[in-house]
Chains A and B, each alone.
Chain A
Amino acid sequence: EAQVTQNPRYLITVTGKKLTVTCSQNMNHEYMSWYRQDPGLGLRQIYYSMNVEVTDKGDVPEGYKVSRKEKRNFPLILESPSPNQTSLYFCASSHRQGNSGANVLTFGAGSRLTVL
């Protein structure tokens, strides 16, 4: 089944304790990205990657890191989490935008993170 898999789905942690949210897709997609969802704000892009070893900041990158060493994986790293990073996180992937236009993003199931 074509899917984007995120782990963990739920996590409660404390301020300053490094954590990684993993994301893996099995569709051979070039493009991957991370969004966070907050009440009243919708979803906002954190980071994205156009292909292996190519990453760039989205709209809200502060406090996050990413890497893209393999095509299928795009982990989100919080080096020193703070309470304002409490949120619902989504990983998404698609083929690169081609002549036919913006491709539909496939989203993971979401990871709910609470930072105390």
Chain B
Amino acid sequence: AQKVTQAQTEISVVEKEDVTLDCVYETRDTTYYLFWYKQPPSGELVFLIRRNSFDEQNEISGRYSWNFQKSTSSFNFTITASQVVDSAVYFCALSGRYGGATNKLIFGTGTLLAVQP
């Protein structure tokens, strides 16, 4: 079965602190994709990153970085020098080829990040 675990329900930091959001996944697929989405207070879902299972290179985009480690089945997300605008719920998600439901995302339960000024 496929599963995504985000053990951190809520995180509160002060602006300019670095923060890491954890994501652990389970899948039997050898080819799979991992995603992060952001849900700001306005409610929409904003795509942040997609990573395939063959690419373990870390990625950096501005203040955001992602650490993908197949050995520990983790795909963690770090925000450097957090800002109030980073306050949101962040979802990690998994998509594989198992079962034929292509493009189906299995979501974690989300981590609510509150950045205090």
The residues of A with any CB-CB pair to B shorter than 8 Å are 31, 33, 35, 40-45, 48, 50, 56, 58, 88, 90, 94, 96-97, 101-107, 109-110, 112
Q: B103 interface residue, CB < 8 Å from A?
A: yes
Contact at A42–B110, with CB atoms within 8 Å?
yes
> Is B81 in contact with chain A by the CB < 8 A criterion?
no
- Which A-B residue pairs are the 7 nearest by beta carbons? A97-B102, A42-B107, A102-B95, A102-B33, A107-B45, A43-B107, A42-B109
Are B105 and A101 closer than 8 Å at their CB atoms? no
Q: What is the minimal beta-carbon distance from A42 to any residue of chain B, in angstroms?
A: 4
Contact with A along B90-117 (1 / 0, CB 8 A): 0101011100011111011110000000
With A42-B107, A42-B109, A44-B107: A101-B101 Cβ-Cβ less than 8 Å: no
Residues of B within 8 A of A102 (CB): 33, 50, 52, 95-96, 102-103
Q: How far does the Cβ of A11 sit from chain B's closest Cβ, in whole Å?
A: 14
Q: Collect the chain B residues with CB atoms within 8 Å of residue A31's CB.
A: 102-103
Q: Are A104 and B104 in contact (CB under 8 A)?
A: no
Chain A residue with Cβ nearest B31: A101
